[in-house]
Structure 1
């Protein structure tokens, strides 16, 4: 059965799910959600797809999963022969701990910071929400510099954020990182040689190249 990903092909969250599906070799189709027309806020959508009116939503037959990172974890868990490296199970407590560390860093530090910058400089422009708040942008870049210095230190000891194997935590960085790289000219190598080496490797993955410009 082909997975259905309901979302917008170019959205960061939709591509976060798509790159994981590609990495696992899982066939899927994207069912477009017309956010410009407000489909995601309709009563039907809120009841049948996502109660918070967000994307993406995964339908695996009749089973529904919302939120991109939860969807990715579900796909990895359902396909343990490939997914065990992408999301180490609790039965391997040390690998599991390292993975959850890395996943927490992505969500709490990288996503929060790049999301703040991206909202001010990209989303506001796209949605006609006015000029960016330059103070927020400046603080965002300062925060990013600090956080990526810590990343460079971690990556000096590990090939990937959780160890020698690529995990979901690495893949989760790709949509936001690519957005800043492509639209704002961010050079990830400027944040340290280890960050640069890591970013070059994960962004060259065939799975990401297949979905980087649209799931």
Structure 2
């Protein structure tokens, strides 16, 4: 059975799953969710697919998996030969991976997604014009976080070490969205490491295949 990804092509979280699937060489079928009629908020969708009305939702071999990062971990666990997430038995590699994954979720995602919301999604959703004071606040927070990234990446090719992991891939959708709204965010790090890392992961064929639509 081909992996089914229920979502929308432009969704950052849908593309987060798509890039992982592409990197693993897992074929998938995108099943569109119609946001124009708020399908994702219908009783049927809430009861059968995602209880919070979000995308993506994945179906694979009879399993339903929710939330893009959890889906990524599931796919990596199903295809361990690709080594996108080290097994707990390799304690050192596992610890470095979990650290890196935590950085994306705890330190990068919140300011990055907030800037993208203000500069792109807010008007798209009919919620008004960007609040530039908030944009400045979130940008300052992101700059502080990226200074830490710069230190983490000193002497490392990727966030968890010398191998690409899910932690790197998870940054791609919102990092790309920041660039699309005119934010040269790697430059905020104040050094060469973040820019070098970002250039490396954005050049991946897996990302190039889905960057503008899953």
Q: TM-score range by the shorter chain?
A: over 0.9
Displacement of 1:25 in angstroms is 0.2
**Candidates 98, 102, 105, aligned match of 2:103:** 105
- Where in structure 2 are the equivalents of 1:137-148 lying within 5 Å? 137-148=135-146
Aligned residue in 2 for 1:159:
157
Question: Following the alignment from structure 2 to structure 1, what is the Cα–Cα distance between the partners of residues 195 and 187?
Answer: 4
CA distance in 1, matches of 2:188, 2:143: 10
1:167 & 1:5 partners in 2: Cα distance? Answer: 21
- Determine the structure 1 residue equivalent to 2:120: 122
Scaled by the length of structure 2, what TM-score is found? Answer: 0.97
Alignment partners' CA distance in 2, 1:21 and 1:189: 29
CA contact (8 A) 1:190 1:196 kept: no
2:203 paired residue number: 204
CA RMSD of aligned residues (A): 1.0
Structure 2 equivalent of residue 79 of structure 1: 79
Q: Deviations over 1:94-133 (max 9, x none)?
A: 1111000000000011001101111111110111211222
Contact 1:15-1:212 within 8 A present in 2 as well: yes
Superposition deviation, residue 189 in structure 1 = 3.9
Q: Which residue of 2 aligns with 1:150?
A: 148
> TM-score w.r.t. structure 1 length?
0.96
Task: Count the aligned residue pairs.
Answer: 213
Query: Which blocks of at least 5 consecutive residues in structure 1 are unaligned?
Result: none
Can you list the C-alpha shifts for 1:58-87, whole angstroms capped at 9, x where unaligned? 0003210000000000000011111xx211
What are the Cα deviations for residues 31-58 of structure 1, in whole angstroms up to 9, with x where unaligned? 0001121100111101110011000000
The SS at the match of 1:143 is: helix
Q: What are structure 2's unaligned runs of at least 5 residues?
A: none
Taking the aligned partners of 1:187 and 1:111, their CA distance within structure 2 comes to 13
